[in-house]
Structure 1
Amino acid sequence: MSMADNLRKVAGLTRRGHHRVDLSHPARSPLGSSVVNCVLYRDGVRQPGTETVEEAVHQVRRHGHDFVWLGLHEPTETEFARVADLFDLHPLAVEDAVLAHQRPKLEQYGDVLFAVFKTVTYVEHEQLTSTSEVVDTGEIMVFTGPDFVVTVRHGRHGSLGPLREDLEAEAERLAQGPSVVLHAIADHVVDDYVTVADAVQEDIDAVETEVFSPKAGHTVDAGRIYQLKRELLELKRVVVPLGRPLERLSTQPLRAIDPAIRAYFRDVADHQARVTDQITGFDALIDSILQAHLAQVAVAQNDDARKITAWAAIIAVPTMVCGVYGMNFDHMPELHWRFGYPLVLGVIATACFLLHRGFKRNGWL
């Protein structure tokens, strides 16, 4: 089945029942392709479906005030080739959109702006273990042109269906054009960063409480701390690189961005900067927790070594005395005295008692 046929099926479904086809799971589209949705907007209002995406583009370019929003999920190179030709997308951006695994970035190719956002979601777990997955990441690529928005999503989460519905409820806002969609996606992605960062903080607080609990000692599993640090590093790779693209969107004049929308990107950039600072603080805090745990382990091992040394010293007294009297000499102190045996036992007991008392007083026992 061709790409045009798939898009025709999407358009027909929209025209008849106004149903939205969206992907919130890793499976392919119910239509049997990567197409999620194809909608024509006129003055911010969703229009009845057209027969083909080519017809939608023709209508948009005939009226001059409309735009098309085409959404795809993990398209193949063949599936995306027709879209790339129709919207005249740059081959380098097309390659990035198909292959995925890109850093967050912003690139401009003529009148088309290509943005890559890393999405993230918090993985629920009853208890953090040394193998727990804390964050799951994905990607959203956005092509923004004068009269179109093409979104390409990779990963098991990050569905844009709810976002599309929110935008359609604000027709006046959506009428400002494709740059509004780009801002809404950026804002949606960064809001998820805030949510995930708050959830990760709860995991860090739980580990910190356990490490510094008086009863914890060296029983805390260091693997849990290392796993949390690895997951935090994954979150850091998602959030931090987005700072520069958002700075460009909020400060530099770009042909694909309405100047009236630029101020809204500054708000998104502020939120991203706050999450970046929060994650940096988490990283330092986890390092401190890990160092504190290792210090606790070292102190506990030192206490164990001192106890062993103290008991060895106490046991050495009867060992030495008994060893002396175990030698086969005729002339031993008090050897033939009736009270010699009790006397030696009393000396051993007294010496052991004094040593135990001294070690106890010094905190070795």
Structure 2
Amino acid sequence: MSQQKSHGKHRRKHTRSSHKAGLPPGSVVYGGVERKVGPILRAIRYDTGSFEERILHSPQEIAPFLALPGVKWIDLEGLADTKLLEAVGHALKLHPLLIEDIANTNQRTKLEEDGEQLIVFVRDFERNKETGVLDDAQVAIALGSGFIFTFCELPPSEFAVIRERLRIGQGLTRQNGADYLLYRMLDMLVDQYFIVIDDVNDRLEVLQTKVLETPGDKEILPEIFETRQELLLLRKSILPLRDVLSALERRESPLMHPVTRAYFRDVYDHTLHVAESIDTLRDLETASLDVYLSRLSLRQNDVVRMLTVISTIFLPLTFLAGIWGMNFDVMPELRWQYGYFAALGVMAVLAVIMMIYFKRQRWL
């Protein structure tokens, strides 16, 4: 499917935060995009030697499932059903304000602590293959004793990869606890930033080529500003995520094994790399905009210079035509047999002389 032109793209719209004005604290109002299918409550249980996956049909099934041995991962895909979200939140004994934050999918990246649980709010980015728009969605991850609970506005592709690795027993996740699963989730979400950044870098290279080769293209400026918006969105998400990972690395909690904290340090280093890459791309975007405006200004100057040269050439010709157009009785040239042709010749010679002069001055 062909991609839409940049100026015809539209980012996914979230509900404005002002729609909750005046509501009491803890009011659960969904602020994200509507899914075409209903919510899915998926449960996974695993340990070194076993793996189990099922679909939960009711929040009442959560408590018995969490009582089972092994590491548990419950994933709620789709948050539009606020009644289901509240029921799930109450089953996990989450504070009402945290449930409200989960439903309001415009939350900034942050780390919250609620009793015996740690909740990480992070954003997932992925390029829409059909429209070319950079989609972003909120992911809330709650870490408890022996379990992980994820609340996803849209299903992240990274989580599907983690589930598949758990099924086949690939990697170290099956051999570690829930805190290691949290690390794997955050690590893969940060890795997705690298993919998006590479894509933005490729688009900037194409933009730079278009700026130099076709400076008059009207689509360039909207594409530059769209790229700027994407970089700002990425930067707005990665900087607080860096602080979250730093806090997880330093936090001494019974939910976090000391060995696992070292893994969070590695993800923290990745966020530093992402932030530096974003700053570099922002500089390239600014340079592309400056070059585009400079090329546009030079093109306008060339047009103005050409018009000025033409006006200058016709100025003496207009002057001569004005003199010979005066109706005085005593004007010998008017009655000369070859006056008309002489006047045209004088004008032509003047025009040629001025064009040669302008050419030598490199004004043409």
Verify: 1:77 aligned to 2:60, yes or no: no
Verify: 1:27 aligned to 2:32, yes or no: no
Which residue of structure 1 aligns with residue 7 of structure 2?
none
Superposition deviation, residue 235 in structure 1? 2.7
Letter paired with 1:352: A
Q: CA separation in 2, counterparts of 1:250 and 1:88?
A: 25
How many pairs does the alignment contain? 324
Letter paired with 2:73: W
CA RMSD of aligned residues (A): 2.5
What are the within-5 Å matches in structure 2 for residues 84-99 of structure 1? 84-99=89-104
Does the Cα contact within 8 Å between 1:141 and 1:153 map onto a contact in 2? Answer: yes
Which residue of structure 2 aligns with residue 210 of structure 1?
210
Letter paired with 1:218: G
Does the Cα contact within 8 Å between 2:117 and 2:143 map onto a contact in 1? Answer: yes
Identity of aligned residues (%): 28
Verify: 1:53 aligned to 2:52, yes or no: no
Q: CA separation in 1, counterparts of 2:49 and 2:256?
A: 17
Which residue of structure 2 aligns with residue 18 of structure 1?
none
Does the Cα contact within 8 Å between 1:72 and 1:153 map onto a contact in 2? Answer: yes
Q: Which digits, 9 at most, give the CA deviation of each residue in 1:327-359, with x for residues without a partner?
A: 111222544444544433322111111111122
Superposition deviation, residue 133 in structure 1? 4.6
Q: CA separation in 2, counterparts of 1:47 and 1:220?
A: 55
Superposition deviation, residue 50 in structure 1? 11
Q: CA separation in 2, counterparts of 1:218 and 1:183?
A: 48
Q: CA separation in 1, counterparts of 2:54 and 2:290?
A: 60
Measured at CA, do residues 111 and 161 of structure 1 come closer, stay the same or move farther in structure 2, by a change above 3 Å?
same
Q: Which digits, 9 at most, give the CA deviation of each residue in 1:186-233, with x for residues without a partner?
A: 0110111111110111111000011012xx242353222222222332
TM-score, normalised by the number of residues in structure 2: 0.81
Letter paired with 1:148: F
Letter paired with 1:92: L
What are the within-5 Å matches in structure 2 for residues 187-226 of structure 1? 187-213=187-213, 216-221=214-219, 222-226=221-225
Measured at CA, do residues 313 and 351 of structure 1 come closer, stay the same or move farther in structure 2, by a change above 3 Å?
same
Does the Cα contact within 8 Å between 1:204 and 1:286 map onto a contact in 2? Answer: yes
Q: Secondary structure at the match of 2:68?
A: helix
Measured at CA, do residues 148 and 220 of structure 1 come closer, stay the same or move farther in structure 2, by a change above 3 Å?
same
What are the within-5 Å matches in structure 2 for residues 119-268 of structure 1? 119-124=124-129, 133-155=132-154, 157-158=156-157, 160-168=159-167, 169-170=169-170, 173-213=173-213, 216-221=214-219, 222-268=221-267
Which residue of structure 1 aligns with residue 278 of structure 2?
279
Does the Cα contact within 8 Å between 2:47 and 2:174 map onto a contact in 1? Answer: no
TM-score, normalised by the number of residues in structure 1: 0.81
Q: CA separation in 2, counterparts of 1:155 and 1:49?
A: 19
Q: CA separation in 2, counterparts of 1:189 and 1:48?
A: 22
Q: CA separation in 1, counterparts of 2:293 and 2:197?
A: 26
Measured at CA, do residues 109 and 44 of structure 1 come closer, stay the same or move farther in structure 2, by a change above 3 Å?
farther
Which residue of structure 1 aligns with residue 25 of structure 2?
none
Runs (5+) with no aligned partner, structure 2:
1-33
Runs (5+) with no aligned partner, structure 1:
1-24, 61-65, 126-131
Q: CA separation in 1, counterparts of 2:329 and 2:311?
A: 30
